[in-house]
Chains A and B, each alone.
Chain A
Amino acid sequence: MLLKEKILEEAGDIIRSARADSVEAVVRRESASTLRFAASSFHQGGKDTDCAVYVRALIGRKIGVSSTNSLEADGLKDCLKRALRIAEHTGREPFDFRLPGPSEYRPVESWFERTATVTEREKVDILAESFKRARASGVSQSGTLTTAEGEVAVVNSKGVSAYHPYTTARLSVVSTKGAASGHDSALGKDFSRIDIPGVMSRSVDDCLLAASPTHLEPGAYRVIFAPHAVSELLEWLSYTGFGSKNFHEGTSFLSGRLGEKVTGGLVNIHDDALDPSGMAMPFDMEGVPKRRLSIIEKGVARGVAYDSFTGAMEGARTTGHAGFPDEPEGPFPEHLFMEGGVMGLDEMMERLDRGIFVKSFHYVNGLLNPKEGLMTGMTRHGTFLVEGGKIKRAVNPMRFTDNIVKAFERIEGLSKDARVFWHHGSALSSIRAPYLLIDSFRFTS
């Protein structure tokens, strides 16, 4: 049940009662339901209802942040008191940080009744049908089905009053048979549009295709990465490179290079929280309207994400990427898109001719040398040798270690099809990625 009036009223009360130069309240309430299954049996299932109220108080150039999960008057009063205490006693900022003023927001369709009301029983029954079909092929299934409904509001003493209700539904499944595994997933706002039987069934097909994997010598190969694998590389590029904090610290591969060609001309990466194909939302957690941010355009570095705080710190304008006020790592793009191309997967396979088709990665790490975009990780849930444009056989998981920024210079094709995935495991963010065909990608073991 949405609590719009109560949330805005409580947040308004905080703003009115605060004895500070300016104050901001961010409120998030969410009810989530998670079913986890392993070996086609449910082993963890839970419902979780929680809220968070963040208060940011400014006294002169001192800032205090406090949060609570109580929506009761005493809890909110205590939260405000703690924020004020910090603002009174903490150190003074050397820059002039001001809360943003009111704005108009573009509406986005983000709340779906079906997602908010689907029961555990319904979800269990749908999944159980897929378990039966998988068993017939000797395959067992493990995964997670999550639905959530929630709302977020930002109110401040400058007149911002923003409210956004949302729902989210996500299914991730791994099918296994012996050492072989296949994975598929789906993410959306409307539970009724999540094709559960399709996702479950595709993971079975991939699992069966991955049977009897054999060794392949490490080395440099032509590759096709499926969208899930690409999304993991993008997530790390974003974490190490697309935020203003890393950019100004000098550790981003974009540091000092805005306007320069940093990677291949086929690479276009942007952030757009208003694009309905992602987990759209109209404003950031400071109440700044969302708008498109170009990060890499035809291989040229164009921008990184700021919020008002890092903007003030670095002498830049916010790009509308504020996270919740207690997040320590600064702003990041939360709605990433890697623009696709014109190729179909069959055409890409033909163009690949001989190489490796990677469905997913596991445990990618982009901190090896973030300034150069060096990353490592393991392939997982389907690694295939392709010969003559056709899948020849499954191969064992392999470790890659390569410079992803340089690898993107060797992109030979991008698919027109793309898929959407969770970003940072958050219901309010997403990554959309296509298939990529890359030449000479390095596998090290």
Chain B
Amino acid sequence: MRGLLKTAVEYLKKKGAEYGDVRFERVTTESIQVRDGVIEGHSTDSSSGIGIRVVFRGAWGFASTHMTTEKDALKAADQALAVAAACSSVNRTRVALAETALHVDAYATPFRIDPFSVSPEEKTGRLIEVTTEASRYKDIAVCEAFMAFSRVDKEFVSTEGAEITQSLLTSGCGYHVIAENGHDAQTRSYPDSHHGLFSTKGYELIDELDMMGSLERVTGEARALLNAKECAAGTIDVIIDGPQMALQIHESCGHPAELDRALGSEISFAGGSFLTTDRMGAYRYGSGHVNLYADPNHPGGAGSYKYDDEGVRTKRVDIVKEGVFTDYLSSREGALVIGARSNGAMRAEGWNRLPIVRMSNICIEPGEVTLSDLIADTKNGLLLSTNRSWSIDDLRLNFQFGTEIAYEIRNGKLGRIFKNPVYSGITPDFWASCDAVCSKEDWRMWGLNSCAKGEPVQVIGVGHGASPARFRGVSVGVLKTRGER
């Protein structure tokens, strides 16, 4: 394949492209879904093709094909050039790219057990066991469990001379139970909602997550929620647990830190960002306890990779340092606009999509206090756990998130549980109210495989290293009383 990619690159040069890159990807996936011991779906997919991106006459063009002969690749190259030429006739500015080091390298995700070598019986057997066992508990109407694996083998060659091979392996699993009593239905998930936890690891992840070991607690909480009171509306201190912190970071830090949003490229779909370029380096994003960073090199993150899809070597980036907004997730084109170099955030969902700025692993630095000490230090509050709903405005300011469960904290001790908790806020005010982040022992890398962005929509895996954190005076609940009008 390398020869074909080089041929296409030479063709782009001959045609006068100012820049070009050719990317081949083979994506292999397997997913299994089991409900109450019944296999709802067990499928594999294999997809491969070539994507060709050019800057020609000062404009971008892209074309892709699933047919990987030289003839088809060169046809795609011509299509990409034609798109760029058409756009160039209208655009008033010319595309320019920040310089980047050129690499000839290979990288592969480290793993112990190749999930694609594990038998279908073993995989389905685990999910059947979890879901069958769960359905034995009273009031558990449904237990649905998931496993998914993907391997992306990609080759990247550019007109500038980069030649990079990467093989990225991702595994994930999880389950949820729904307790139901005819009037109400309550869900608890493990280890996270959104189909579980995803990680650039092998099948060893499935053992690490020990789904069976969590079953008694998870089913018990779902059942208990049926008889729990609604979370009352008001203003209260909250501790947000790890998986919900992951979502909070994702929506209120990761997305607004995407430079393409700040520069207006996504204004018609995903939206813009309150983190405008004039605020970089000075804007007070949160309290001094808040340190947020991107690290694509963190082992095991769902957004871990060595090179992005522009061939840029990734590095750790401080997005928020001691509460101050310091940097973006960037592309080569965007980085030049802010006088910087790309930090390697350009990723495509697959060979047939343009790379766009994406989160990698966006994490919060752990603090000093343990979760148990933080609870003990909270007089009157709520511990909110596991995301259930999410909504935020197009500048990433006004948010409202729901969680599966709230645990009351009274005089430093966990008490009753409440159902249907919701909290809301304005991003910088909310992060300014953060007065403690839990320590390393409560920190883990969470992973989602469902971050969507762009048109056509591209869905990609992202990691979020997080530990629980406390926020003072947060608005919770939306309905004052049930049925109130």
Q: Is A416 engaged at the interface, CB distance under 8 Å to the other chain?
A: no
Interface stretch (choices A17-25, A160-168, A268-276, A360-368) = A360-368
Q: Given A67-B46, A380-B394, A397-B393, A174–B86 Cβ distance below 8 Å?
A: no
Q: Which B262-316 residues sit within 8 Å CB-CB of chain A? A: 264-269, 271
Instruction: List the B side residues contacting A39 at CB < 8 Å.
Output: 264
With beta carbons under 8 angstroms apart, the residue of A78, A89, A362 that contacts B394 is: A362
* Whole-angstrom distance between the Cβ of B41 and the nearest chain A Cβ: 6
Give the complex CA separation of A66 and B45 in angstroms. 6
Q: Is B13 engaged at the interface, CB distance under 8 Å to the other chain?
A: no
Judge whether B90 and A45 touch: CB under 8 Å: no
Q: Which B406-458 residues sit within 8 Å CB-CB of chain A? A: 420, 422, 424, 455-457
Q: Is A65 engaged at the interface, CB distance under 8 Å to the other chain?
A: yes
* Whole-angstrom distance between the Cβ of B397 and the nearest chain A Cβ: 10
Give the complex CA separation of A377 and B390 in angstroms. 9
Give the complex CA separation of A68 and B44 in angstroms. 9
With beta carbons under 8 angstroms apart, the residue of B37, B79, B479 that contacts A47 is: B79
Interface stretch (choices A248-256, A284-292, A333-341) = A248-256
Judge whether B424 and A49 touch: CB under 8 Å: no
Judge whether B398 and A399 touch: CB under 8 Å: yes
Instruction: List the B side residues contacting A78 at CB < 8 Å.
Output: 46
Q: Given A41-B90, A46-B63, A69-B66, A86–B42 Cβ distance below 8 Å?
A: yes
* Whole-angstrom distance between the Cβ of B337 and the nearest chain A Cβ: 12
With beta carbons under 8 angstroms apart, the residue of A45, A89, A366, A397 that contacts B60 is: A45
Judge whether A368 and B420 touch: CB under 8 Å: yes
| B6-44 to A contact mask, C-beta < 8 Å, 1/0 | 000000000000000000000000010110011111111
Instruction: List the A side residues contacting B389 at CB < 8 Å.
Output: 365-368, 376
Q: Is B48 engaged at the interface, CB distance under 8 Å to the other chain?
A: yes
Judge whether B424 and A328 touch: CB under 8 Å: no
Main SS class of interface, A? strand
Q: Is B49 engaged at the interface, CB distance under 8 Å to the other chain?
A: yes
Instruction: List the A side residues contacting B66 at CB < 8 Å.
Output: 49-51, 69-70
Q: Which A21-58 residues sit within 8 Å CB-CB of chain B? A: 32-36, 38-39, 41-52
Q: Which B74-104 residues sit within 8 Å CB-CB of chain A? A: 76, 79-80, 82-87, 89-93
Judge whether A378 and B391 touch: CB under 8 Å: yes
Give the complex CA separation of A69 and B120 in angstroms. 22
Instruction: List the B side residues contacting A249 at CB < 8 Å.
Output: 141-142, 178, 180, 185
Judge whether A124 and B90 touch: CB under 8 Å: yes
Judge whether B31 and A326 touch: CB under 8 Å: yes
With beta carbons under 8 angstroms apart, the residue of A50, A82, A220, A444 that contacts B49 is: A50
Judge whether B64 and A50 touch: CB under 8 Å: yes
Judge whether A444 and B478 touch: CB under 8 Å: yes
Give the complex CA separation of A66 and B398 in angstroms. 42
Judge whether B83 and A91 touch: CB under 8 Å: no
Instruction: List the B side residues contacting A264 at CB < 8 Å.
Output: none
* Whole-angstrom distance between the Cβ of B213 and the nearest chain A Cβ: 22
Judge whether A378 and B265 touch: CB under 8 Å: no
Q: Given A38-B268, A124-B89, A249-B142, A48–B47 Cβ distance below 8 Å?
A: no
Q: Given A124-B89, A363-B391, A172–B456 Cβ distance below 8 Å?
A: no
| B443-485 to A contact mask, C-beta < 8 Å, 1/0 | 0000000000001110000000000000000000011000001
Give the complex CA separation of A123 and B180 in angstroms. 53
Judge whether B43 and A43 touch: CB under 8 Å: no
Q: Given A46-B63, A172-B268, A86–B44 Cβ distance below 8 Å?
A: yes
With beta carbons under 8 angstroms apart, the residue of B43, B83, B388 that contacts A66 is: B43
Q: Which A353-388 residues sit within 8 Å CB-CB of chain B? A: 362-369, 371, 374, 376-378, 380
* Whole-angstrom distance between the Cβ of B321 and the nearest chain A Cβ: 28
Judge whether B354 and A44 touch: CB under 8 Å: yes
With beta carbons under 8 angstroms apart, the residue of A68, A91, A120, A378 that contacts B46 is: A68
Give the complex CA separation of A371 and B485 in angstroms. 19
Judge whether B268 and A144 touch: CB under 8 Å: yes
Instruction: List the A side residues contacting B141 at CB < 8 Å.
Output: 249-250
With beta carbons under 8 angstroms apart, the residue of B39, B91, B394 that contacts A363 is: B394
Q: Is B352 engaged at the interface, CB distance under 8 Å to the other chain?
A: yes
Kindly list the 4 A-B residue pairs having the minimum CB-CB distance in the complex, ordered from nearest: A46-B62, A42-B87, A65-B43, A142-B268
Residues of A within 8 A of B (CB): 32-36, 38-39, 41-52, 63-70, 75, 78-79, 82-83, 85-86, 89-91, 93-95, 119-121, 123-125, 127-128, 131, 142-144, 146, 172-174, 176, 220, 249-251, 255-256, 313, 325-326, 328, 330, 362-369, 371, 374, 376-378, 380, 397, 399, 401, 425, 440, 442, 444-445
With A42-B90, A89-B120, A146-B456 already in contact, 4 other A-B pairs whose C-beta atoms are closer than 8 Å: A35-B83, A45-B62, A47-B76, A249-B141
* A-B CB contact pairs (8 Å), 22 listed: A34-B455, A36-B455, A46-B61, A46-B62, A49-B66, A66-B43, A66-B44, A90-B42, A90-B120, A91-B128, A93-B39, A124-B89, A144-B269, A362-B393, A363-B391, A365-B390, A366-B389, A368-B389, A399-B398, A425-B456, A425-B457, A445-B398
